[in-house]
Amino acid sequence: MKRTLKIATRKSPLALWQAKHVKSKLESYHPDLKVELVEMTTKGDQILNSPLSKIGGKGLFIKELETGILQGKADIAVHSMKDVPYELPIDFEIGAILERENPFDAFVSNNFNTIDDLPYGARLGTCSMRRMVQLNSKRPDLIIIDLRGNVNTRLRKLDNGEYDAIILACAGLIRLGFEDRIKQQMSETTCLPAVGQGAVGIEIRANDKKIKELLAPLIDIETTIRVEAERAMNARLEGGCSVAIAGYSTINNNEIIITGLVGSVNTGEILKRKISGPTGKAEKLGTDLAEELISLGAMDILNN
């Protein structure tokens, strides 16, 4: 008789894609395992008329899934790592991080090919303070309008003429088969990605050795090192959806290069720094990068 493992997931098309991706991998590695999806609705999915920064930030998309695990309704939860708070409840840990998809932001429009092509005063849709700060520094003339909902909903709003362009994550568009909607991949210098963007993580009960053994084949070591470094920076800065923080890392010949950014939506001030060192010290380097940003005044920006 096959053992059953249940995955808690949100109901959005992207969340379901991610959960089914994990299900497929687990079943391919463990033929004796039956994996089921347990679909749940989170607070972040229910409240769509307010910016994330005003209703609680990143934890909005995972709390109900965690509750489901504690209640025995599910064994694991699958998340976009950019939605996972830097500090997890004591009962949980990240059991695996999978190979990263394209981590950059996408410029999506039906009438314009790049952000530079947008006319003066064009309507640009995004709900991310991180994106707002960076894009406003490049194009202060644009009217940035809040944009909520899943990927399909956001694309539909664009197609209905509510925006001249919108900014989405490349990873989500690629995973859902909308890669052709990407008019421009935003460069690292134009719009530094969110911490963990493009990576899928699996949350488990803390110290659950049996589940860890099942998940071990899914772990992508390079992605894990990169995401842990970015999250270490974010943890030191105490960052969530209510502040503009970006973090992105690459690995080259056992050296990790991490770039961090802190910005103010109110003043437009941006602090951006880069640090590098051996991958074996990735998390410490992430913390060191945060300390450098703090020495430049990051906390004054984040607390205002």
How far apart are alpha carbons 282 and 300 in whole angstroms?
A: 26
What would the mean pLDDT of 257-282 be, rounded to a whole number?
A: 95
Answer whether residue 243 shows pLDDT above 90: no
How far apart are alpha carbons 212 and 205 in whole angstroms?
A: 10
C-beta separation of 174 from 108 below 8 A: no
- The candidate with the shortest Cα–Cα distance to 275, out of 245, 301, 249, 302, is 249
* Two tokens, residue 173: 């568009």
Beta pairing partners, 200 = 80
The predicted pLDDT at position 240 comes to: 65
What would the mean pLDDT of 78-107 be, rounded to a whole number?
A: 95
The predicted pLDDT at position 252 comes to: 95
What are 166-206's pLDDT values in tens digits?
Answer: 999 999 999 999 999 999 999 999 999 999 999 999 999 99
Query: What letter does residue 57 receive in the DSSP assignment?
Result: G
The predicted pLDDT at position 48 comes to: 45
How far apart are alpha carbons 125 and 88 in whole angstroms?
A: 30
Which pLDDT band holds residue 62 (cuts at 50, 70, 90)?
Answer: confident
Check if 164 is active-site.
no
* Two tokens, residue 186: 């935003």
Which of helix, strand or coil describes residue 268?
coil
Which of helix, strand or coil describes residue 136?
helix
**Strand (E) or helix (H) holding 70:** helix 63-70
Q: What is the average pLDDT value for the chain, to the nearest integer?
A: 92
How far apart are alpha carbons 109 and 206 in whole angstroms?
A: 43
The predicted pLDDT at position 42 comes to: 65
The predicted pLDDT at position 54 comes to: 47
Polymer length of the chain: 304
Which of helix, strand or coil describes residue 170?
helix
What are 129-157's pLDDT values in tens digits?
Answer: 999 999 999 999 999 999 988 999 999 99
What would the mean pLDDT of 80-100 be, rounded to a whole number?
A: 94
Q: Which of 45, 75, 83, 105 is catalytic?
A: 83
The predicted pLDDT at position 56 comes to: 46
Number of CB atoms found within 10 A of residue 31's CB: 8
C-beta separation of 163 from 147 below 8 A: yes
Answer whether residue 162 shows pLDDT above 70: yes
